[in-house]
């Protein structure tokens, strides 16, 4: 068990890098969608560059981080199976499943944009971009509080955060419409 903290540290490092990828990839999706509406040759130059940036982020950082994070998490659960009897851990694992689903949907969008199939608006992507943030808040509160009752307040807090994020997106959109360079 003396290596337990090393495994925990590696798990946390890959949680951070996985989320970094999940925070940035929708921003690249937004730029790609907006570039697809530009006239030639800007459209081609920008989309080619954004495809390359997205591919590198997705394949070199985000996917490996997701896999390593998950492997270290499973290892931790093997070392501490008692955690699976804790209500907070079960709720956390539910959010982890949501995170994996979010990741897989991002992968689907990534593949579509690599084929120049634009199926979403940049506004949708700005909202989608907040999904990882909400999951991160939920998981951090669950891990820190470790109380099945307190997570209910956390979920309510996440909903409030979601509403505030949506309002922030609307405010940003209004500012951007008034000043396109913002």
Q: Element (H or E) spanning 30, and its range?
A: helix 4-35
Answer yes or no: is 32 a known binding residue. Answer: no
Answer yes or no: is 103 a known binding residue. Answer: no
Q: Answer whether the bond into residue 77 is a cis peptide, omega within 30°.
A: no
Instruction: Pull the structure tokens for residue 88.
Output: 């907070």
CA distance 135 to 96: 8
Name the nearest CA neighbour of 29 among 100, 101, 124. Answer: 124
Which residues define the annotated binding site for heme? Answer: 11, 92
Which residues define the annotated binding site? Answer: 11, 92
């Amino acid at each position: 068990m003396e290596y337990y903290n090393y495994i925990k540290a590696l798990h946390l490092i890959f949680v951070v890098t996985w989320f970094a990828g999940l925070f940035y990839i929708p921003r690249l999706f937004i730029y790609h969608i907006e570039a697809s509406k530009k006239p030639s040759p800007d459209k081609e130059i920008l989309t080619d560059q954004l495809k390359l940036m997205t591919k590198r982020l997705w394949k070199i950082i985000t996917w490996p981080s997701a896999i390593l994070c998950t492997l270290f998490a499973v290892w931790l659960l093997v070392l501490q199976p008692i955690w699976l009897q804790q209500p907070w851990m079960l709720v956390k694992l539910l959010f982890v499943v949501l995170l994996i689903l979010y990741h897989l949907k991002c992968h689907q969008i990534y593949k579509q944009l690599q084929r120049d199939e634009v199926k979403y608006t940049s506004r949708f992507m700005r909202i989608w971009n907040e999904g990882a943030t909400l999951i991160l808040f939920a998981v951090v509160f669950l891990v820190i509080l470790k109380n099945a009752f307190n997570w209910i307040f956390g979920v309510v807090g996440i909903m409030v955060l979601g509403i505030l994020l949506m309002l922030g997106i609307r405010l940003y959109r209004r500012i951007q419409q008034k000043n396109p360079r913002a």
